[in-house]
Amino acid sequence: MDKQKLIMLPGPTNVSERVMQAMLKPVINHRGDSFRELYKEVLEKTRQLFQTQGDVVVLSSSGTGGVEAAVWNLIRPGDTAVVPVFGEFSKRLAETVEMAGGEVVQVASEFGTAPTLEQLKAAMDKVGSFKAMFLVHNETSTGVAVPYLEEATKAAREHGAFAVIDAISSLGGYAIPVDRWGVDVCITGSQKCIAAPPGLALLSVSSRVSELLKGSPPKTRYFEILRYLEYGMKGETPFTPALPLYYALDEALEELIEEGLEKRVQRHDRMSTLIYDGLAGLGLGAVAEKSVRSKTVIASYYPKGIDDAKFRRSLSQEKGVVVAGGFGPFAGRVFRVGCMGQINEGYVKTTLGAVRDTLAALSS
């Protein structure tokens, strides 16, 4: 059996023993009372995470499944969507809208930056009428976080459009009060700041979306949101859920509630500052501009002459710390550190020390 390493990826991330143990509970009938009780608990705790009194959905899928659910439930052929594109995941989101038959108005910026709120509003004003805005909050590929979610949501709704936020790698490290801000769909994943194992996508769903779907059902069965809402009223899912993951999610959300969302957000803020400062002290520059730096994913350039594969392999094998490489235009040029979930001073100190020693060994 492999020795447990310190997982400092932008997801999946470290999971507590308590959450791991939850997955050992017996398999139960997903149409029985025991599951109904579990699922209702999960939904109520999920509402607390999203800060909503409205509907929530839990899908047995990765975060990408949650994004596809949002797109395919809202977009019909010929619909126009406004999509800021400033990294690989926002680029994929735009492509998904096109796959659903939508016409995409991209608001693009150089990777490592984000479009400004003014640029986004100008694009909305220019197109006039559009179906939805799909905004990636935290661009995992570059470590860029958009700082104007509330304002962007307000602007979209002023145009009569739906506001959809991909918060897969940020919710829990950031607070996103979807009811107060008027977000129509917010998406996150179990394996990021929630600190549960991978395999579940969580979505908040506004009443506006529910009303749309009643009169215009999407052409998807597995990801049909209204079907999940209807089954959820009786404490069930329409299709067989990933039972062990539901147990784990329930326990991870309980940990989050015990800590308090506000305190968890503050902890992510403190730990990300320590990581940025520590990497800067080693002479390493961040990919993201300072005004849009993420506090859950830190992307850092390598010093000249450091080989990406050798660095990450040595860091993992010799130091027991696992980080991610870059991809797209940043492949081989950067490494990415997750600052998520269980992140604490010990994790940060261990990671920074391992990075320092590994760079020194490879530079000698």
Q: What domains can you pick out in the chain, each with its CATH number? A: 6-12+260-363 (3.90.1150.10), 17-258 (3.40.640.10)
Assigned token pair, 252:
């991870």
Q: Is the per-residue pLDDT at 1 higher than 50?
A: no
- When pLDDT is cut at 50, 70 and 90, the band that residue 4 belongs to is confident
Number of Cβ within 10 Å of residue 310's Cβ equals 12
- Alpha-carbon distance 337 to 323, whole Å? 5
pLDDT in tens, 112-144: 999 999 999 999 999 999 999 999 999 999 999
Considering only CA atoms, which of 11, 8, 55, 306 is closest in space to residue 202? Answer: 55
pTM of the model as a whole: 0.96
Assigned token pair, 171:
């919710």
pLDDT in tens, 33-81: 999 999 999 999 999 999 999 999 999 999 999 999 999 999 999 999 9
- Alpha-carbon distance 181 to 177, whole Å? 6
pLDDT over 70 percentage in the chain = 99
Residue 345's contacts (CB-CB under 8 Å, 6 or more residues apart) are 271, 274
- When pLDDT is cut at 50, 70 and 90, the band that residue 205 belongs to is very high
- Alpha-carbon distance 120 to 116, whole Å? 6
Average pLDDT of span 328-342? 95
Judge contact between 104 and 83, C-beta under 8 A.
yes
What is the average pLDDT value for the chain, to the nearest integer? 97
Considering only CA atoms, which of 265, 337, 362 is closest in space to residue 13? Answer: 337
Residue written as tokens 């908040």? 204
Residue written as tokens 């905004």? 135
Judge contact between 43 and 55, C-beta under 8 A.
no
Considering only CA atoms, which of 333, 326, 321 is closest in space to residue 275? Answer: 321
